[in-house]
Chains A and B, each alone.
Chain A
């Protein structure tokens, strides 16, 4: 009986992990089988309100919010006043920049503002995936470059706008 419950508990949980991954832009191109492999790799973490998910400094990867709310803060590690840059909710993700870099670095801090459940996907997981399953790894990397490229373009546009307004 207990065994039965246990199995079913995990079955439903696993399924939801795959669904959460599927909804993320980084993994939307993956097949069912690839999502299942990935779901065995990601880490489920729970945070209590006020607990830091990470602080400014060395970082290893990204988090996807399953439930709860997360505040992204600037200047939290200096010990002084910190400003909230944005509030993230279920389905949002953050920290993906660290996946792309050997010496990943978080320029902001992330703090749970409610009881939160998160999925973590980190550079070692990505490297393991690339080694085992290169085509899946490459598809994730392509999506990552797309997201980063988009962001770079937006930053470039903002910079030229800023320059124009200054020149006027």
Chain B
């Protein structure tokens, strides 16, 4: 066996250090660009999600004889026209519901304050403690009023710009993913190359499965909520369905958050027990379909984290990045789990190495 001379060892070390520096440098540049440009991070995340959702559609088209790039263009053109049609169809609905919400908000905020006042009185009569919920919550409600009355159109516009940028980024992510990942792999030192390649493949697979499953699940839950609320002719069905879909991406806590606005609106509209239970029933049915049908089929095969870990991660994510943090904390944790397991295996298996 040939053993390395000290000169060769130094050379190997130098090669690996240069590779590491370039790798870290690239990551730093990419990271700072993402965080410094406003909203780019969200567009990037959304693009990431879109690229994972679109990826499985490419292979069948390639098998049908299209080239990779043609398949990609075909998927994006079809997707954009479908979303465009959906937009034309839903835009009047959304703008009408947003207008309604803006028009009725003053009544709602007043009603909410009344509810809180009633709650204060009840607490006082039951427990004999004086609480001052009103003053604290008044500021919050005033703040929300301003958001809904003034900023909602501009927030929606901002969301639109994020949504326009994301498919553009996603297209190039998919077009050049092989080249980019190969360039990155060139920077990996020989001694850990096979491990890193395997890791990249596994994380890619699991993240892809995870994202596709969760988004399909959220879409179906949102659809069921929308249909159910429309069926009992509840106001803002489309907005509430969309909200339920987004919050459903957060495990355990999300579905509850998703249902809260509907219950508040129902209470403020003076819904009585029967009507209120109908509204809650819609959300419960959506959750039963989710837990009984969707989760066992779609989500159960994915790397499992302990429920306690999941809840802690959601809280942690929420503290750092709000709702977005709550949604992305689980896939990030999954990726970290796969990585650490592989690294651990690598270290324990190769600890008696001679090099």
Contacts and interface: CB of A to CB of B under 8 A. Distances in A.
Interface of A: 40-41, 43-45, 47-55, 57-61, 71, 73, 76-79, 82, 84, 111, 113, 120, 122-124, 127, 131-134
A43 B201 CA distance: 14
Contacts of A73: 1
Given A48-B8, A48-B11, A111-B1, A124 B354 contact: no
Given A45-B190, A122-B194, A55 B182 contact: no
Interface residues of B, number: 35
Q: Which of B15, B200, B355 has the most CB of A within 10 A?
A: B355
Question: A-side binding surface: helix, strand, loop or mixed?
Answer: mixed
17 contacts: A43-B185, A43-B193, A44-B186, A48-B11, A49-B2, A52-B355, A55-B350, A55-B355, A58-B349, A59-B194, A79-B352, A79-B354, A84-B1, A132-B58, A132-B63, A133-B62, A133-B63
Highest count of chain B CB atoms <10 Å: which of A49, A71, A84, A124:
A124
B32 interface: no
Interface string B165-195: 0000000000000100010011000110111
B3 interface: yes
B182 to A, nearest CB: 7
B63 A77 contact: no
A25 B349 CA distance: 32
Interface in B317-355: 345-346, 349-350, 352-355
Nearest to B178: A40
B354 A76 contact: yes
A132 B194 contact: no
A51 B182 contact: no
Contacts of B355: 52, 55
Interface string B119-154: 000000000000000000000000000000000000
B2 A111 contact: yes
Nearest to A120: B193
Contacts of A76: 1, 354
Contact of B194 (A61, A82, A111, A133): A61
Contact of A124 (B4, B201, B352): B201
B interface, by DSSP: helix, strand, loop or mixed?
helix
Contacts of A134: 63
Nearest to A79: B354
Given A47-B190, A48-B15, A58-B349, 17 more contacts: A40-B182, A45-B193, A50-B2, A50-B8, A51-B4, A55-B350, A57-B349, A57-B350, A59-B194, A76-B1, A77-B353, A77-B354, A111-B2, A132-B58, A132-B62, A133-B62, A134-B63
B144 to A, nearest CB: 48
Interface string B11-27: 11001000000000000
B90 to A, nearest CB: 35
Contacts of B201: 124, 127
A84 to B, nearest CB: 7
Contact of A53 (B63, B185, B190, B195): B190
Interface in B37-61: 58-59
A57 B190 CA distance: 15
A48 B194 contact: no
Nearest to A58: B349
B5 interface: yes
A122 B195 CA distance: 11
Contacts of B58: 132
A128 B151 CA distance: 46
B98 to A, nearest CB: 43
B197 interface: yes
Contacts of B345: 58
Contacts of A84: 1
A51 to B, nearest CB: 6
Contact of A78 (B11, B178, B191, B352): B352
List the 6 closest pairs (A to B, CB-CB), nearest first. Answer: A124-B201, A50-B4, A60-B194, A82-B1, A50-B2, A132-B59
A142 to B, nearest CB: 18
Contact of B190 (A51, A71, A123): A51
Contacts of A41: 178
Nearest to A130: B59
A61 to B, nearest CB: 7
Contacts of B63: 132-134
A124 B197 contact: yes
A60 B198 contact: yes
Contacts of A122: 194, 197-198
A57 to B, nearest CB: 5
Contacts of A53: 190
Contacts of A58: 194-195, 345-346, 349
A13 to B, nearest CB: 13
